[in-house]
Amino acid sequence: MDFETSVFDKEYISLAGTREGIVRGGRHLFGRLPQAFAGIGRIGVIGWGPQASAQAPNLRDSLSGTDIEVVVGLREGSASREAARAAGFREEEGTLGEMFEVIGSSDLVLLLISDAAQAALYEEIFAALRPGTTLGLSHGFLLGHLDQMGSTFPEGIDVVAVCPKGMGASVRALYLQGAETNGAGINASFAVHQDATGRATERALGWSVGLGAPFTFQTTLRSEYLSDLTGERSILLGGVHGIVESLYRRFRDQGLSETDAYRHSVDSVTGPISRTVSKDGLIGLYRRLDDPQKEVFAQAYAAAYPVGLELTHEIYDEVASGNEIRSVILAGQRLSRFPMGRIDQADMWRAGEVARQDRDQENLPLDAFTAGTFCGVMMGQVDTFIEKGHPYSEIANESVIEATDSLNPYMHARGVAFMVDNCSTTARLGSRKWAPRFDYLLTQTAYATVDHRPAALDTTLVKAFEEHPIHEVLRICAEMRPSVSIFVQ
């Protein structure tokens, strides 16, 4: 996998012995955007969800002073019209219009409506695209849906993706910070799926640089949706939810108070563990432990890693086979009759609400058993992605960095629902589906083995962890991290 650009400066990084091409962003490059967008007079941003409402103003601001116009397209009667107007997109100025009109009149169409809407409307959308248009996506769900419908993108258009590694709110907030703070902005991956114009790569890179991405990595559309949907069902949302529920219960059964059980499970993962991993990597977390703690970590790790590996393989198969996408579509059809319930109403999260009220942020426990369990499941995902051939930059982002820098801070601030339900419907459904599986498998096999058959634990696993190439990858990725926290509350 590689790419050519004459507009931007490609650099190579070496991750675990693999060379990956990247593009460094920055405001000083905004002057090159007209060249990257050669042939584009109008960029249509379709929708006003979290990504659209961040990307449209970012691109408009980056392109101010050029002839390239950024126009927002909404469906007739959209409830978001006022919000788009308040952000400066106006019918009377020609920068706000009906979605199909905008699609048909734009040269670059960023399709940022919900997954369910993409699945429902893609035929009409494809029909409205003119030949030579570049269709832009911010993740690969639509490709997954087309795959399972036995359909494809229309010929004669470009299909590219730019996928910011953070929530929409962060994409806008860090862009604004970037005006003053060097290196602020959200990293992104990009993919070229179809290149009808011969300009697809430059346009995708221009889009990413225009959004303010400090670094842009390469992937494919398929690799992106496989790792994205799998990651959020595994360690990013579903996995971590199942982990903390099972650990909380375990600590309660061991006699800890509600608050202490919350401190040693949720607070430990979302506080010191995530902060340490973010700063010093997974190996840095391990090195912070003293020898007796390292032994506890090793036991929990040896028990939890097989669970992470098994369930991430299962999830990956379900995503790759199209099952998971079909599931999301079917669930969408049931939502009006069976709306998603609240996931934070049981005793544990009520106790958490109390526990969060008097929390000494600097002295939260770094529980070694919790750390071993969390890292074990996380590494099960990392190794699944390696086995499936994903690029290391994607593996690090979708398994580790997004967890510690982007998502766990939400759970830290206001509990599990604030993390999960700030994500897409696809992610919220997936997390609800898989969290209980992690909980059960950890309880049935991992903890039961630690408690009753510790001799059966594979002690070589933590050795493999210590020597894992992911640590060097995380070290390099850390150097390319935005210079400010990407968590926006």
Report d(CA 229, CA 3) in Å as an integer.
25
Asked if residue 382 binds its own copies (CB under 8 A), the reply is no
Q: Does 145 bind its own copies (CB under 8 A)?
A: no
Please select the residue that binds its own copies; options are 331, 377, 401, 407, rule is CB under 8 A: 331
**Among 9-17, 216-224, 284-292, 439-447, the segment contacting its own copies (CB under 8 A):** 439-447
Q: How many residues bind its own copies (CB under 8 A)?
A: 40
Considering only CA atoms, which of 55, 42, 160 is closest in space to residue 112? 55
Q: Which of 445, 471, 476, 485 binds its own copies (CB under 8 A)?
A: 445
242-301 residues in contact with its own copies (CB under 8 A) are 249, 253
Report the alpha-carbon angle 147-150-152, nearest 5.
70
Per DSSP, the residues of 263-330 read: IIIIIHIIIIIHHHHHHHHHHHHHHHS-HHHHHHHHHHHHHHHHHHHHHHHHHHHHHHTTHHHHHHHH
User: Any residues with CB less than 8 A from the CB of 169 and at least 6 apart, and which?
Assistant: 50, 54, 488
Q: Which stretch binds its own copies (CB under 8 A): 139-147, 174-182, 188-196, 438-446?
A: 438-446
Among 441, 450, 462, 474, binds its own copies (CB under 8 A): 441
Amino acid at 471: H
Q: Which of 139, 145, 241, 264 is catalytic?
A: 139
CB of 312 to its own copies, least distance (A): 11
CB 188 within 8 A of CB 158: no
Q: Is 330 in the site for its own copies (CB under 8 A)?
A: yes
Q: What is the DSSP code string of 326-338?
A: HHHHHHHHHTTTS
Span interacting with its own copies, options 38-46, 224-232, 373-381, 437-445, rule CB under 8 A: 437-445
Residue of the chain from 26, 284, 436, 469 that contacts its own copies (CB under 8 A): 436
Which positions ≥6 away from 124 have C-beta within 8 Å?
A: 100
Q: Toward its own copies, which CB reaches closer, 380 or 409?
A: 380
Torsion of the alpha carbons at 153, 154, 158 and 160, rounded to the nearest 10? -10
Report in angstroms how near the CB of residue 80 gets to its own copies at its nearest. Answer: 29
Binder of its own copies out of 433, 469, 471, 478 (CB under 8 A): 433
Q: How far is the CB of 439 from its own copies (least distance, A)?
A: 6
Helix (H, G, I), strand (E, B) or coil at 398: helix
Pairing mode of beta strands 134-137, 18-24: unpaired
Q: Is 388 in the site for its own copies (CB under 8 A)?
A: no
* Spatial distance between the Cα atoms of 417 and 270, rounded to a whole number of angstroms: 14
The interface mask with its own copies, positions 291-320, x = CB under 8 A, is ------------------xx--xx--xx--
Q: Does 149 bind its own copies (CB under 8 A)?
A: no
Active site residue 139: yes
Rounded to 5°, angle at Cα 235 from 426 and 380: 130
Instruction: Please tell me whether residue 447 binds its own copies under the rule CB under 8 A.
Output: yes
216, β-bridge pairs: 23, 188
CB of 407 to its own copies, least distance (A): 19
* Binder of its own copies out of 342, 361, 459, 464 (CB under 8 A): 342
Nearest to 406 by CA among 456, 459, 481: 481
- Find the binder of its own copies among 181, 444, 459, 483 (CB under 8 A): 444
Under rule CB under 8 A, residue 101 binds its own copies: no
Per CB under 8 A, contacts with its own copies among 349-368 are 350
**Site membership for its own copies, residue 151 (CB under 8 A):** no
Query: Quick check: 28 binds its own copies (CB under 8 A)?
Result: no
Q: What are phi and psi of 478, to 5 degrees?
A: -60, -35
Q: Binding its own copies by CB under 8 A: which of 151, 345, 459, 483?
A: 345
Segment holding 12, helix H or strand E: strand 10-15
Q: What is the dihedral of CA 290, 292, 293, 296, to 10 degrees?
A: 160
Calculate ∠ Cα 424-222-165, nearest 5°. 45
Tell me the catalytic residues.
139
Q: Which residues bind its own copies (CB under 8 A)?
A: 249, 253, 309-310, 313-314, 317-318, 321, 323, 326-327, 330-331, 334, 337-338, 341-347, 350, 432-433, 435-437, 439-441, 443-445, 447-449, 452
